[in-house]
Amino acid sequence: MIPEKLTGRRIAITGSTGFLGTALVERLLRCAPDCELVLVVRPGRRGADRRVERDILRNDAFERLRADLGSEAFAQMANRRITAVAGDVTVDGLGLDEEGRAALASCDLVIHSAAAVSFDSPLDQAVEVNLLGPVRIVQTLAELGVAPHLVAVSTCYVAGSRRGAAPEESVDASPFFVDVDWRTEVDSARRIRNETETDSRTPERLQDFREQAHGELGAAGTPSLAAKTEQLRSRWVDDRMAEAGVARASSLGFPDAYAYTKALGEIASAEVAGNVPISVVRPAIIESALADPSPGWIRGFRMAEPVIISYARGLLKEFPGVPEGTIDVIPVDFVVAAICAVAARGPLGPDDGDDIVQVASGSVNPLRYGHLVDMVREWFTEHPIYDDIGQPIPVPEWSFPGRGRVKKQLERAGTALDRAQKVFDVLPVRGRQAEAGARLEERRELVRRAEGYVDLYGAYAECEAVYGLDNLLGLWDSLDDADRQSFCFDPRVIDWDHYAPEVHLPSVVRAGRVPMKPPARGGESRSARLRRQILAPERQLVAFDLENTLIASNVVASYAWLGSHRLRGRDRARFVAGLVAEIPTLLSLDRKDRSDFLRHFYRRYEGAPVDQIAVDSLEKFSELILAKSFPTGIRRVREHRNLGHHTVLITGALNFVVEPFRPLFDDIVSAELGVVDGTYNGRLTTVPPTGEARYQALLDHAAARDLDLRESVAYADSASDLPMLEAVGFPVAVNPETRLAGIARKRGWLVEDFRKSPGMRRNLLPLAPAGRAGR
Amino acid sequence: MSNGRHLAPRPGFVLDVDRNSPPIVFHHGEGFRMEKLPAGRSRVIYPAEPLEGLADPDGAIRHALDNPIGDSEPLRALLHAGMKLTVAFDDISLPLPPMRRPDIRQRVIEAVLDLAAEAGVDDVHLIAALAIHRRMTEDELRHAVGDRVYDAFAPDGRLYNHDAEDPDGMVVLGETPHGEDVQFSRRAAESDLVVYVNINLVAMDGGHKSTATGLSGYTGLRHHHNVHTMQSSRSFMDQESSALHASNWRMGKVIRDAGVKIFQIETTVNNDTFGREGPLALLQKREWEWSTRDRMQFLAMKAGLDVMPSSAKRKVFSSWQAPYALTSVQAGEVEAVHEVTTANVYRQHLVPVEGQTDVLTMGLPYICPYNVNSIMNPILVMCLGLGYFFNLYRGRPLVREGGVLIMSHPTAWEFHPVHHPSYIDFFEQVLADTTDPVEIERKYEKQFAEDEWYIHLYRNSYAYHGVHPFYMWYWGSHALQHLGRVVVVGGDPAAVRRMGFQPASTLQDALEMASDVVGPQPTVTHIKNPPILMADVS
């Protein structure tokens, strides 16, 4: 009867790009063939129509329907039945334009499934979406003068952290509900946001963020540092707001801001409902589909998944919870079916009790925490995840500890990793060692995430509320056989022993993209694939840094060599002593700002005769630069050139130092000194191409030759080159120092380990050999 | 006994290894191995002891310049005021290891310049005839020609390295009847007289090769530095059977016919490579004649070397300068001079050997012509073993066709980034694709030879020419064709395999691997070189 009852209906849906919403749209299109859908989506940059196409209809949920109908018919059907409307539940009036308002007004059913489901969303965001979202919908409908049936998706956890029965009753009817005024809560959330924003802008804080940005990126140039600083500031504000959410929620007896705002949302929307009839559907923890649209279908990386994957990776060795506790999981298709059934049934009359349906499993078919853990253990023992070097990771034994103990363990691990990380950050390591540092950082990140899971999900694992399902089962009893076939939501039919290992876990590892096979021998590694892309003929511009990218040398070394080349005896000793004494100053300048350092340093070329430097530079090229070059790097330049790429060296080194490299590149951009009467005056004629100036040089270079940076490659070794690396489609981190290694790893950039030819002697101070020239 | 040796140096000889034979010292890069060869079926070929040097080298040189051989007037008669004179000399690849000062070249060049000065010749250029080898550094040039000559000629640009890629500095003098381009230094070609100063360390050196190769470039070299020539030379150390030399001789005729007058001065040195005294002297002694002191000294040296890092060892070894003594000097017309020179080389090097062997073993030293003051990279290991040592025969190769060559060398995956840039790419790219010389020549040679970056490095830095590693590989192509297997003892397995050879950690393992190819209980011959010997195989 459900399809029939939905025939001819126009149904507005919010949250259709989400996990539940996508499944809902799919089910309605497939099983209720004669209804029309108005999808209210945030338009983003692409517009509502494109978003529906890209973010909903292209999801693999629709593969089944597309296969049944054929691609063309599917597209036609979708076109005919779906109207995309740009709207946003966080904006008063839902941000609808006239057309959108008309479309909404034409609907006789509204399903509100938009929510900020992340348990660590900032308080004000959760308030805007979860609390005010349904209120705004009701208000907008009232403004439009219509009163369609509103099915609002909420959550079982509005019952709060309690033990025992949690029946299908309104939130404020519960004896455990602490009565607070939702309007006050809204105001204070907004005020906290304002205060936090203000707080984040105090000079001390801003200084802090700048220092952090500098710590992360090094001397990356003002624009990059500014962007990073702002990013850190806004992240700091969000973190404070998330903390505020958790704090406020637990002060009122809710596990998190999600449940807290959803609960107040129910109260508020009921209060402002007027003549809009509201049915509330409260699912428990929604997980992958049991059968529809396909077994195991899931969208996004959801609540239990990170925990499961972290466990299988051996990272989360323990997770709080009691073995006999209930994990109230419900497959997404059950929730969808229940919503459809509620929608088809229509709103309850005033005397029929609370119009609330809970979709959960705990009270009739409980999945025990201990049982789930056993199944997960067993499954991952049989299907282990593989680590970086292709070894299966054994899953740890679970001991069901309390939350405090787990947190302490994680904190200890975190502190140890923090210390190691700090050591790595100050060590002047590069290449392989720096990558070890980056891996450390990754592990630290995982531990940090695990800590978060324990904080957030621990409450759920420890939750011992039992959600009443009287209304749900009553609704189930009212269905005929056909409906029971296509709209199954009876939690009693779930066989957990089948669902967990056969349906859910395979889907989790698929969605988590974790390696379930040892890396195939002889197969192309990730780096090999990236390298192939970088060396594809269609690449256009290839930019190289010089120091530590192609040669293991620097401007100081060049100067030391040139300066000492013609000195003998005492002069030479004096020169060395002077340079050594200055090293600390130079290093600290270099750390602060590369171009200031270069300007300062290059002053010492003042008075150097141009002719003599030219001759000596060629000699230095062999003895210092080539001897310390990375042959693989040089070969790479040549490979690019042979492929017809435009190769350019962009370096802060001086032109006469890099002049001998000219035949290697198509072009060289370098620093240049002014010349007066045949001697250098020690002043740079232009801004040296480092940091953002290097990025600018790259842009100019590409623009002048009409080359596409997205099709271009850049090689560099330091976080200060980030602007240049980020500007191109194919960045390569060469022998990266720790910071860049971390960034490259996170972003999946190719990391190359170019080395000096082995077997060469190294000398600490790059001085020209004594007693040769001028003899 | 040592006094006796001074009076009459003993010739080289062949030792049949029996149960009582002591272990033999194998060169092993910058180190040594002591190896016991299988008794009853092994023999060791020892080089001759160093011949006595000429008592008055400078007198002998002056005498040679005044008493030329063949169709030539004495040098002083060829010199006159207003003429253009070019003195070309052998580069850093000779002799090996570099000799103690004064270098023979310095003695000869000073004598030549004295005569030139007497005759009032002003326009004199001195050229290091290095063909496509790397340029010599100031230190190396000073060592070769002496400070006096260097300071007089280098500052104003009259002493310099040959530049085979200087578009204005090279000319093609003509073509041989075989269609070979004869490319030559323009300065030399336009001189009224070219005096060539040679050090004839091995039988391959000298003759027309001095100028036809030394003052040429890729355009000329490609006609004889190729796989076909090398495979047709049996061996290239024996001029009579060498296609390499036949081609150079044809070119020499074209040079002569083009009007270039060459006054060739050739010299030979004795076998005093490691000295009669000093830390390395025992390498010139036969093992059973070692004193207890020698043994202790050797063990101490070996222990020291075993713990030193490779760069430190390299420094120690490359500081060794041989106390070579001049054994002959002859001057005049190229071919006539070279005949006498070759006889003098043979006098020191030839060792009669009876019959071929199944397995040839050799210990490769730390040096070859192309890594003076540099690194002996794997390609040079191949060239030294399969090119130079394998070809040090007259008559037949020491090892039978299909036999096995076992070389001992660390064969580290190390390259000198300044001297051998194209070698690195050759090793990484070309050898990763194929080790077949014919294929390599066809597919890659031209590309490397004409590469602008390599040419830039050859001309302006101290790099061997881009095509040089190819020639190294071709040098071994006769051996590659002849041998059934090559095993490297104690080498870096990855580097050894890259070259298509097999790595073994001990000589015993290597011999086992050899018997897979040549059958059980094979005959083994060890060529105990250096000091240099050339096997006269009957």
Bond before B397 cis per omega within 30 degrees: no
Least confident of A255-264, A561-570, B238-247: A561-570
Q: Give the pLDDT score at A427.
A: 62
pLDDT value for A766: 56
ipTM of the complex: 0.86
Crossing angle of helices A182-200 and A203-217, in 10° steps, is 70
- Tell me, yes or no, whether B341 lies in a domain: no
pLDDT of residue A743: 85
Contact between B527 and B362 (Cβ < 8 Å): yes
Rounded-to-integer distance, Cα A424 and Cα A437, Å: 6
A626:B415 CB<8 A: no
The helix or strand, by DSSP H or E, that contains position B300, with its residue range, turns out to be helix B292-307
Lowest mean pLDDT among A280-289, A303-312, B250-259, B437-446: A303-312
Instruction: Judge whether A526 is closer than 8 Å to chain B, CB to CB.
Output: no
Same domain, B391 and B492: yes
Q: Inspect the interface and report whether the beta carbons of A638 and B453 lie closer than 8 Å.
A: yes
pLDDT band at B489 (very low <50, low <70, confident <90, very high): very high
How much of chain B is helix, strand and coil, in % rounded to 5?
40, 20, 40
CB of B428 within 8 Å of a chain A CB? The answer is: yes
Q: Domain for residue A317, yes or no? A: no
pLDDT tens string A459-471: 666 667 888 888 8
Q: How confident is the model at residue A772 (pLDDT cuts 50, 70, 90)?
A: very low
Residues of A in contact with B371 (CB under 8 A): none
Residue whose entry in the numeric block shows the structure tokens 């180190």: B31
Final residue of a domain: which of B253, B269, B285?
A: B269
> Is B173 a member of any domain?
yes
- Element spanning A730, H or E: strand A730-734
**Locate tokens 């082995």: which residue?**
A758
CA distances from B146 to B21, B100, B102 (A): 45, 11, 7
Chain A residue numbers with beta carbons less than 8 Å from the beta carbon of B310 are: 759
Residue A693 lies in a domain: yes
Mean residue pLDDT of chain A comes to: 83
Scanning every residue of chain B, which has its alpha carbon at the shortest distance from the alpha carbon of A756?
B417
Banded pLDDT at A381 (limits 50, 70, 90): confident
Report helix, strand or coil for A331.
Answer: strand
Task: Answer with the one of B209, B238, B269 that is the final residue of a domain.
Answer: B269
Q: Do residues B507 and B382 share a domain?
A: yes
pLDDT score, position A720: 80
How confident is the model at residue A517, as a pLDDT? 66
Count of structural domains, chain B: 2
Residue A425: what pLDDT? 64
Whether A763 shows a pLDDT value over 60: the answer reads: no
Helix (H, G, I), strand (E, B) or coil at B326: strand
The verdict on residue A708 lying in a domain is: yes
Nearest to B50 by CA among B99, B10, B104, B13: B10
Higher-confidence residue of B515 and A164: namely B515
Judged by CB atoms within 8 Å, which residues 630-649 of A form the interface with B? 631-632, 634-635, 638
The verdict on a CB contact (< 8 Å) between B418 and A627 is yes
- Is the Cβ of A757 closer than 8 Å to some Cβ of chain B? yes
With vertex at residue A609, the alpha carbon angle to CA A607 and CA A613, rounded to the nearest 5 degrees, is 120
- Confidence (pLDDT) at B393: 96
pLDDT of the residue at B82: 95
Q: Is A513 on the interface with B (CB under 8 A)?
A: no
pLDDT tens digit sequence for B367-426? 999 999 999 999 999 999 999 999 999 999 999 999 999 999 999 999 999 999 999 999
For residues A62-87, average pLDDT: 88
Q: Percent of chain A scored above 90 by pLDDT?
A: 20
**Closest-CA residue in chain B for A760?**
B311
Across the interface, which of B139, B418, B452 has its CB nearest the CB of A626?
B418
Residues of chain B with Cβ-Cβ distance to A663 below 8 Å are 452-453, 456
Q: Which is nearest to A223 in space by CA: A775, A692, A572, A568?
A: A692
Mind telling me how many Å the CA of B139 is from chain A's nearest CA?
A: 8
Whether omega before B177 lies within 30 degrees of 0, making that bond cis, reads: no
Chain A residue closest in CA terms to B135: A622
Higher-scoring residue by pLDDT: A219, B82: B82
In a shared domain, residues B33 and B141: no
Asked whether residue B2 carries a pLDDT value surpassing 50, the answer given is no
Domain count for chain A, please give it: 1
Q: Is the peptide bond before B97 cis (omega within 30 degrees of 0)?
A: yes
The residues, any chain, with a CB within 8 Å of residue A144's CB and separated by 6 or more, are: A101, A104, A105
What does the block give as tokens for A599? 């300007």
Same domain, B425 and B474: yes
Domain end residue (candidates: B209, B240, B269): B269
CB-CB under 8 Å, A757 with B417:
yes
CB B353 within 8 A of CB B538: yes
Strands B193-197 and B84-89, how do they pair? Answer: parallel
Query: How far does the CA of residue A387 sit from the closest CA of chain B (Å)?
Result: 27
Q: What is the mean pLDDT of residues A767-775?
A: 48
CATH number at residue B36: 3.90.226.30
Question: B255 and B284 share a domain?
Answer: no
Residues B438, B415, single domain; the answer is yes
Residue-range definition of the domain harbouring residue B159: 57-269
Residue A556 belongs to what domain range? 530-752
Could you tell me if residue A599 is inside a domain? yes
Q: Is B264 in the same domain as B283?
A: no
Check A627 against B452: CB less than 8 A apart. Answer: no
Evaluate if residue A775 carries a pLDDT over 60. Answer: no
> Measured between CB atoms, does A535 come within 8 Å of chain B?
no
Same structural domain, B262 and B286: no
| Same domain, residue pair B512 and B497 | yes
Check if the beta carbon of residue A309 is closer than 8 Å to that of residue A459.
no
Here the CATH number for the domain that contains residue B239 is 3.40.50.11440
Give the model's confidence band at B350: pLDDT under 50 very low, under 70 low, under 90 confident, else very high: very high
Cβ neighbors of B413 (< 8 A, separation 6 or more) are A758, B378, B492, B494, B495
Q: Which of residues 459-488 of B touch A (CB under 8 A)?
A: 460-462
* Contact (CB<8Å) B414/A756: no
Give the dihedral of Cα atoms A526, A529, A533, A536; nearest 10 deg. Answer: 160
Tell me how close the Cα of A513 comes to any Cα of chain B, in angstroms: 35
Chains A–B, number of C-beta pairs less than 8 Å apart: 65
With cut-offs at 50, 70 and 90, classify the pLDDT of residue B162: very high
The verdict on residue A408 lying in a domain is no
For the full predicted model, state whether its pTM sits above 0.95.
Answer: no
Residues A77 and A62 sit within 8 Å (Cβ to Cβ): no
Say if B334 falls within a structural domain. Answer: no
**pLDDT for A516:** 64
Residue B5 C-alpha, separation from nearest chain A C-alpha, in angstroms: 40
Domain assignment of residue A589, yes or no = yes
Same domain, B112 and B215: yes
* Residue B309 and residue B417 share a domain: yes
Where residue A195 falls among pLDDT bands split at 50, 70, 90? very high
Residues B138 and B31 in one domain: no
Q: What is the pLDDT of residues A494-504, one digit of tens each?
A: 888 888 888 88
- What's the CATH code of the domain at A581? 3.40.50.1000
| DSSP calls for A193-252 | HHHHHHHHTSHHHHHHHHHHHHHHH-S--HHHHHHHHHHHHHHHHHHHHHHHHHHHHHHT
pLDDT at res. A505:
82
Note whether residue B371 is domain-resident.
yes
